[in-house]
Structure formats: structure tokens, C-alpha cells
């Protein structure tokens, strides 16, 4: 079968029990990462999550060495997860301690912890390669993720861990949301801001350690950050952002793991991150709220409104129009002829534009302190801002046209 056919079979859970379990586990991991990452993103703590992910490496290496020394299998996934969790927790506490007890800023503390822990992890991996058991350790799979040869028990562990993380996101969403937006107000309501912050980062830690086998410690931070950034293009509401972020993370995890199962020589972690980036790129381009295409269309509409308004005012004042875009817009709307002379419809529209401008000038002169009139932008008709009675009152103050 072709890779596309294998990919379809993996998506529909027909590629074998283990592949299906990995895909489901990666989907749950993506949902948890997207949900937890939404709070990390809103709290502006993305760099802390980066430090957590890099701090797991020495824990993985030390756990491997300890398990080998006691006569066990150094590649036992639960032991490696425990080691990475302890190491990441230590890194998180060091960042918190350095930020609170020293004059270092959070970015400097994160940089110190990230570099030192990751450097220590690389040294320990080098030591492991000199061990007789280390030559076949396969710990490099924890750097970029790997599901090839994953045991059923490991897949079940990851799936259960992902489901637990999803449940914690649901349970802690309210206090974490309040702390993410307004920690001072949250404190007045009795919420322990420091503990909530630690719970938020602890949730990111859980996602990190259960995602090591699938995504890898280098790329798991991308699964925490890309989905909420993607969701931000589509909504301004927190509850929707969390749901969209979780959905984007779950979709990227599920489809990425399925594609990795179909293309067996492709590392799982980078594929999942690339699928997450594809969703981000589509949102960046197509989102009606903040997408590039929608922004370009809004800018074009605004530009046309400005040129139309200025063109009508120029017609009303009898001024020559030289701007090509203005002329093109007026001709397209049937407001001027090919020779630049206003049509009947153009003369009427020009008169209405001049009257509207005169009304605005009168209103702003008489009611300079009225906050309603701050909406004046030179484009909005005054009858969309003031009531009919107010507009009629303005008209009564305007000079009457001379009778001929």
C-alpha cells in the first residue's frame, strides 16, 4: 500500500492495535497540551515551559543509570518518566526560587536553568554511551520522539497520562483563568496565586513528561505553545480559546501520530509539530478575526471608503481629481463619467457627503465635550451616531441655502 493509504488506515484506527493506541494517546496528549498551554500562553510563561522541557533530560539519564545499576532495564518507561518529572520539578522550583530570592529576572533565571540542566543531560548521555547497556539505550528517541517499537503498556501509560492531564485542565480551569488574567483580583477572592501558578506549570510538567516518548523533550514545548497561538486567531473569549487550543493540539497529535505510523522512517515528534504548524499557518492566513487575508480585505475596504469619501467631497467642492484609485472607484460605482464629470447619482452622493461633513463640523463645534462625537473618523455618517431628532436639530442650525 502507498503511504497515503497507510495514513488513511492509521487515521481510521485500522493499522493495528498498537498504532491505534499510540494515535489515541497522542491525541489525548495533544488535547492536554493545548488546554494546559492555553493557560501558560495567557499567563505569558512560555519560556518557563521551555525550561521545564529541557530540564527533563538529566532526569531521564539519571533514571536510566540508576535502573541499570540496580539490575533493571534502563529503558523502563515509568522509571524514565519519574526521573524526568523529578528533574523538571527541580528545574521549575529553581526558576521560582531564583526569581523570588535574587535580583535576577525571570528570563535570566530561565536561561540559567535551561542551559545548565540541558548541558548536564548531554554529559550524562555521553557517560551512558560508555556503559555496556548504554550502547543500545535508544535514549535519543526522547529528544525528538519515537513510537517505533513502543510497547502496548507504554502506549497505555501515555494514553492514561494524557487523559489525566485533560481531567486536571477541566478541574483547574477557573482559578487558572483568573490568575492568568488578573492575579491581584484573584488574590482578593482568596485564590493562592503562587500555588495556582505552580499548578499551572505542574500541568505543563505532566504534559512534558508523558509526551517525551511521542514528541520528545526538544519539541514538546511547541505542542504547548502553537495550539493556543493558533486558537488566538479565532476568538477573544477565554473559554473558546481553551477549547480551540485543545482541539488543535488533539488534531495535531492524532494526525501526526497516524502519519508517523504510515511513514515508518519519519520521527513522530517533528511530524506532530509540523501538523500543529500547518493548523497555525491556516489560521494565520484564513482566520476571519485576525487572519492575514481578512486583514488585507479590511484594509482594502477601508482604503476604498477613504478614497470614495474624499472623491465625493472633491466633487462637491468642484475640485479636480487626479488620484487613479479614486477615479476608478467613482467610475465603477457610476458616480462620474469617463471624462470625470459627475453623473446625476454622483452629484447626489457628493451633496450628501458634503452635508454630512457640515453636520459633523457643527456638532463637534457645539458639543466638543460629548464623548459620543469622539467616534468621528471622517467616514461614519453622522446619522449612525446621533438620533434623528439630534440630526434634525443640527440641520436647523445650518445656514439655509439661498433661493434663486
- For 300-401, where are the E strands, in sequence order? none
The candidate with the shortest Cα–Cα distance to 248, out of 234, 261, 268, 266, is 234
39 vs 203: CA distance, rounded Å = 10
Q: Cβ(88)–Cβ(210) under 8 Å?
A: no
Predicted local distance difference test score (pLDDT) of residue 179: 86
Predicted local distance difference test score (pLDDT) of residue 148: 60
Q: Cα dist. 58→67, 95, 106, 237, 372 in Å?
A: 14, 16, 22, 39, 61
Predicted local distance difference test score (pLDDT) of residue 48: 78
195 vs 177: CA distance, rounded Å = 14
Q: List beta partners, residue 336.
A: 342
Predicted local distance difference test score (pLDDT) of residue 133: 64
Predicted local distance difference test score (pLDDT) of residue 146: 67
Q: pTM above 0.85?
A: no
Burial class of residue 159 in the structure, from the number of CB atoms within 10 Å of its CB (0-12 exposed, 13-18 middle, 19+ buried): buried
Written as one string, the DSSP assignment of 193-228 is HHHHHHHHHHHHHHHHHHTTTTT-TTTHHHHHHHHH
Under 8 Å CB-to-CB from 186, ≥6 apart: which residues?
A: 175, 178, 179, 193, 196
Could you state, in chain order, the average pLDDT of each consecutive group of 10 residues for the chain (404 residues)?
Answer: 74 76 83 88 82 85 86 77 88 86 83 88 84 62 66 75 81 86 85 84 84 78 91 90 92 89 78 93 91 92 93 90 91 89 91 91 81 79 87 83 52
Amino acid at each position: 500500500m502507498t503511504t497515503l493509504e497507510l495514513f488513511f488506515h492509521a487515521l481510521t484506527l485500522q493499522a493495528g492495535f498498537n498504532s491505534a493506541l499510540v494515535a489515541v494517546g497522542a491525541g489525548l496528549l495533544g488535547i492536554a497540551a493545548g488546554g494546559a498551554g492555553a493557560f501558560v500562553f495567557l499567563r505569558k510563561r512560555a519560556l518557563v515551559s521551555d525550561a521545564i522541557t529541557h530540564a527533563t533530560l538529566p532526569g531521564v539519564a539519571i533514571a536510566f543509570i540508576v535502573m541499570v545499576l540496580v539490575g533493571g532495564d534502563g529503558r523502563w518507561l515509568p522509571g524514565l518518566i519519574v526521573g524526568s518529572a523529578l528533574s523538571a520539578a527541580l528545574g521549575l522550583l529553581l526558576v521560582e526560587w531564583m526569581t523570588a530570592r535574587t535580583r535576577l529576572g525571570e528570563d535570566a533565571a530561565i536561561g540559567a536553568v535551561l542551559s545548565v540542566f540541558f548541558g548536564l543531560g548531554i554529559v550524562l548521555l555521553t557517560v551512558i554511551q560508555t556503559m555496556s547497556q548504554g550502547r543500545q539505550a535508544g535514549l535519543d528517541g526522547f529528544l525528538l520522539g519515537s513510537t517505533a517499537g513502543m510497547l502496548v503498556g507504554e502506549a497505555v501509560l501515555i494514553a492514561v497520562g494524557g487523559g489525566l492531564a485533560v481531567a486536571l485542565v477541566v478541574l483547574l480551569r477557573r482559578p487558572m483563568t483568573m490568575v492568568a488574567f488578573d492575579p491581584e483580583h484573584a488574590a482578593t477572592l482568596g485564590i493562592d496565586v503562587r500555588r495556582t501558578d505552580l499548578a499551572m506549570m505542574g500541568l505543563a510538567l505532566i504534559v512534558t513528561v508523558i509526551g517525551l516518548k511521542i514528541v520528545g523533550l526538544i519539541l514538546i514545548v511547541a505542542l504547548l505553545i502553537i495550539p493556543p497561538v493558533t486558537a488566538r486567531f479565532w476568538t477573544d473569549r477565554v473559554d473558546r480559546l481553551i477549547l480551540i487550543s485543545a482541539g488543535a493540539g488533539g488534531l495535531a497529535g492524532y494526525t501526526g501520530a497516524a502519519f508517523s505510523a504510515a511513514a515508518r522512517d519519519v520521527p513522530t515528534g517533528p511530524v506532530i509539530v509540523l501538523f500543529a504548524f500547518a493548523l497555525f499557518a491556516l489560521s494565520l492566513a484564513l482566520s476571519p478575526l485576525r487572519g492575514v487575508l481578512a486583514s488585507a480585505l479590511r484594509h482594502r475596504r477601508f482604503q476604498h471608503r477613504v478614497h470614495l469619501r474624499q472623491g465625493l467631497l472633491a466633487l462637491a467642492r468642484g475640485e479636480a481629481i487626479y488620484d487613479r484609485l479614486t477615479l476608478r472607484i467613482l467610475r465603477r460605482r457610476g458616480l462620474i463619467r469617463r471624462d470625470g464629470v459627475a453623473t446625476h447619482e454622483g452629484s447626489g452622493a457628493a451633496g450628501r457627503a458634503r452635508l454630512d461633513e457640515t453636520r459633523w463640523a457643527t456638532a463637534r463645534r457645539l458639543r466638543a465635550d460629548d464623548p459620543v462625537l469622539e467616534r468621528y473618523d471622517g467616514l461614519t455618517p453622522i446619522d449612525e451616531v446621533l438620533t434623528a431628532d439630534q440630526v434634525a436639530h443640527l440641520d436647523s442650525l445650518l445656514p439655509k441655502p439661498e433661493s434663486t
